[in-house]
A and B are shown apart, each in its own frame.
Chain A
Amino acid sequence: MKRLLLVPAALLLTIAAFGQDRELIRQADFSSLVVKEAAPDSANASERALWAVRCQLTGRDLYEPANYMFLRPAVKELGFVPAAFALSDRILRDTRLGTVRAIPDPEDGRIHEGPEAYNTRRKGDVQPLVGAAAPVTSGLRLSNVSTPSAASRWVSKDYDFVQYLIENDLKSDARTLVFGDGFHPSDTLTFLRGWSLYQLKELEPSRDFLRSVPSGSAFYDKAFFYSNAISAHLGDYSTPAEQLDAYSGPYAELKGVQLAGLALLRDDPEAFKRAAGSFSYNDFALEKAEREFDEIFKSRYETPMKSPLLAAAASAVVPGLGKVYAGQLGEGISSFLVTGAMGAITAEHWIKDGPKSWKTIVPGVLTAILYIGNIYGSYVSVSIYNNTLYDAQETTVLYNVHIPLRSVFK
């Protein structure tokens, strides 16, 4: 009997769709699947020529922008001489050995590193959370939500259905449902709207909806702490810190953990010490975050950083040694081998042809560029190492401000 009701629906749809398939097939556009190879649009004539040659050579070529596209922006960023040394250092690093410990971007398999990496320390330049998709937005905002129709109902009756949709990875269905005009406005509806957007990683509108859940609602605490975590992901550290200071609900230790995380993100050791006073190390959901925050605090404020000057001096004595000091063993060996090979070639010509022969001068100049580039690169490697450490710490902090919420509000 039930089947009798549903079959016509399927049949009606099938009949309605009859003949449409051919039209859909006719209109399909597969041009985006065609493999197109060309130099980047911004490339000039010489860069295009280098691109054509580059296609015929082997090598890792893991860096983005590619080496043949690096010099022009590097000259703008650093000036000609540092740019030339930076390029030579990059060539030394862009080998099988040099990239053995590199972690490429999972999306395109390349290491995104522009000339700005050769600038000095970029403290506080937050990287997006590893593994998190870039925030997307559907244009849904608090201000442009449709008004309910006369036939509206309460969303609490559909609460389980919304949860079912989210748990079964039908998040866009959940969004369609809660943003339809069939519900009376309510705290639950506001929360579910924010929650469905959060699940779809539409962070900004999600935060706005979650923040607007009033304090009397049963969903208030969950919405409050999640909105703070989202704000932190969006790079806003001060607003959630102010709101947390004013919070007096039952989750005092969670408040302390989020405040401590935000203090680390704001690079404020005094605020961290105040917030860390509430750590008990006994709560299963929060213990890991508390211990990791303590470790980050110690390594950041109580352990001396590596010295760029020492790295440069080490590389001046033995090419690549400074990179090993900076924690880049593969890069160090690669630099040593390539610079050493070039030096050996120069030495051979020096012995056989004398120092004034062009056969000695050409490899000699190249060796000098590689040698100085390696010293410069070692100096920068420590900055890169410190920046990478700083970014990794920020990623850990963001993770721990956010992920424990799943256990706390399970």
Chain B
Amino acid sequence: MLRKQLFCITCIFLCAQFLSRAQDREGMAVEYERIVFEGAGLAETNDALRAKADCYKQLGRWSDASATLARVRLFALTPEERTDVLYQQELCFFMTGEFGQAASLAGEVGDGSADALLLHALALAYAGRYDESEIYAARYLCWDGASPRLQELLDLYSGHPRELNSVTAMALSFLPPLGHFYCSEFGEGALSGTLNAASLAFTVANLASGYWITGLLGGGIALDQTLMGAQQRCAQLVEKHRTNDSIAFGDKLRSFLLQD
């Protein structure tokens, strides 16, 4: 029985290697899956899944690679293998733009290699966690000893995007242009302020002139639209700036850390 299994696995391995030479990584991935299907042991299954994930990685199919790595039974791996699997998962999440997920793995992967430090620094920066990112980036830069570019890196981080507080933005948006100004959107703030001022003026003018129905109904609807609209817009602007600013900073950090 064992000899038969050995023969099967040898054949599959040779087949996978043949396909590797033929650059048929999709075919390789299927052959590695066949090892899992054939009912190999835990260790062989894990190795096959890792090799399969690597095929997907080479093909740029990051989501498939990530899903394959998620099937690896981590408890059956050595600490080094476990770290490598988690690192690969972090890389997959990073490449698919799921920065929050990638950053959440940084602590588990640890800091055993320069590549891991680089990945942690970037994942955390893109996720908007600049303080934690700075530590990893500095350690990456000093991996081979003190770096003359360290001060430049610290300067880069000192100019990281301001973290917008959604509660502050919401509170300020009750005085319409202020919430927009807090998000550095001065043009939109001016427009929102004008619309709110016009709604308020319409309401007050009608009520003061004794047009109660027009003031209450028309003015009420107009104020609901503009005042609630300002709050809604401020919440959107906070999210937009968080995403765009962290991507812009991450791109800057990436080109700084990876420059030759």
Residues of A within 8 A of B (CB): 1-3, 5-7, 9-10, 13-14, 17, 21-22, 24-26, 28, 30, 32-35, 37, 52-53, 55-59, 161, 164-165, 170, 172-173, 176-177, 180, 341, 344-345, 347-349, 352, 363
Q: B47 near A: Cβ within 8 Å?
A: yes
Task: For B243, give its contact among A1, A35, A180 (CB under 8 Å).
Answer: A35
Residues of B within 8 A of A170 (CB): 33
In the complex the two chains form, is B33's CB within 8 Å of A165's CB? yes
Nearest A residue (CB) for B212: A348
Q: What distance in Å separates the Cβ of B149 from its nearest Cβ neighbour in chain A? A: 16
1/0 per residue B154-178: CB within 8 Å of A?
Answer: 0000000000000000000000000
In the complex the two chains form, is A173's CB within 8 Å of B30's CB? yes
B198-247 with Cβ < 8 A to chain A: 210-214, 217-218, 221, 224-226, 228-233, 239-240, 243-244, 247
Bound complex: CA A58 to CA B195 (Å): 12
Residues of B within 8 A of A22 (CB): 115, 118, 258
In the complex the two chains form, is A9's CB within 8 Å of B13's CB? yes
In the complex the two chains form, is B214's CB within 8 Å of A345's CB? yes
- With A25-B122, A25-B254, A56-B230 in contact, do A161 and B211 touch (Cβ < 8 Å)? no
1/0 per residue B240-260: CB within 8 Å of A?
Answer: 100110010011001000100
- With A37-B240, A164-B37, A349-B211 in contact, do A30 and B30 touch (Cβ < 8 Å)? no
In the complex the two chains form, is B17's CB within 8 Å of A58's CB? no
Residues of B within 8 A of A34 (CB): 243-244, 247
Bound complex: CA A22 to CA B40 (Å): 33
Task: For B226, give its contact among A7, A33, A56 (CB under 8 Å).
Answer: A56
In the complex the two chains form, is A176's CB within 8 Å of B27's CB? yes
Bound complex: CA A106 to CA B229 (Å): 24
The count of residues in chain B whose C-beta lies closer than 8 Å to any C-beta of chain A is: 68
Residues of B within 8 A of A341 (CB): 217-218, 221
In the complex the two chains form, is A28's CB within 8 Å of B95's CB? yes
- With A25-B118, A25-B122 in contact, do A30 and B250 touch (Cβ < 8 Å)? yes
Q: What distance in Å separates the Cβ of B232 from its nearest Cβ neighbour in chain A? A: 5
Residues of B within 8 A of A3 (CB): 41, 43-44, 47
Q: Which 5 A-B pairs have the closest CB atoms?
A: A57-B229, A58-B228, A6-B47, A58-B229, A348-B213
- With A56-B188, A161-B37 in contact, do A345 and B218 touch (Cβ < 8 Å)? yes
Q: B66 near A: Cβ within 8 Å?
A: no
In the complex the two chains form, is B47's CB within 8 Å of A176's CB? no
Nearest A residue (CB) for B81: A10
- With A2-B40, A26-B254, A58-B228 in contact, do A33 and B30 touch (Cβ < 8 Å)? no
In the complex the two chains form, is A345's CB within 8 Å of B229's CB? no
Q: What distance in Å separates the Cβ of B151 from its nearest Cβ neighbour in chain A? A: 23
A-B contact pairs, 19 of them (CB 8 A): A2-B5, A2-B6, A5-B6, A5-B9, A6-B35, A6-B43, A10-B47, A13-B51, A21-B119, A25-B95, A26-B254, A37-B240, A52-B191, A57-B229, A58-B228, A177-B30, A345-B214, A348-B211, A349-B214
Q: B104 near A: Cβ within 8 Å?
A: no
Residues of A within 8 A of B55 (CB): 13
In the complex the two chains form, is B214's CB within 8 Å of A348's CB? yes
Q: What distance in Å separates the Cβ of B203 from its nearest Cβ neighbour in chain A? A: 13
Residues of B within 8 A of A24 (CB): 91, 95
- With A5-B13, A22-B115 in contact, do A173 and B33 touch (Cβ < 8 Å)? yes
In the complex the two chains form, is B9's CB within 8 Å of A2's CB? yes
Bound complex: CA A347 to CA B48 (Å): 79
Bound complex: CA A310 to CA B91 (Å): 63
In the complex the two chains form, is A5's CB within 8 Å of B16's CB? no
Residues of B within 8 A of A177 (CB): 27, 30
In the complex the two chains form, is B192's CB within 8 Å of A56's CB? yes
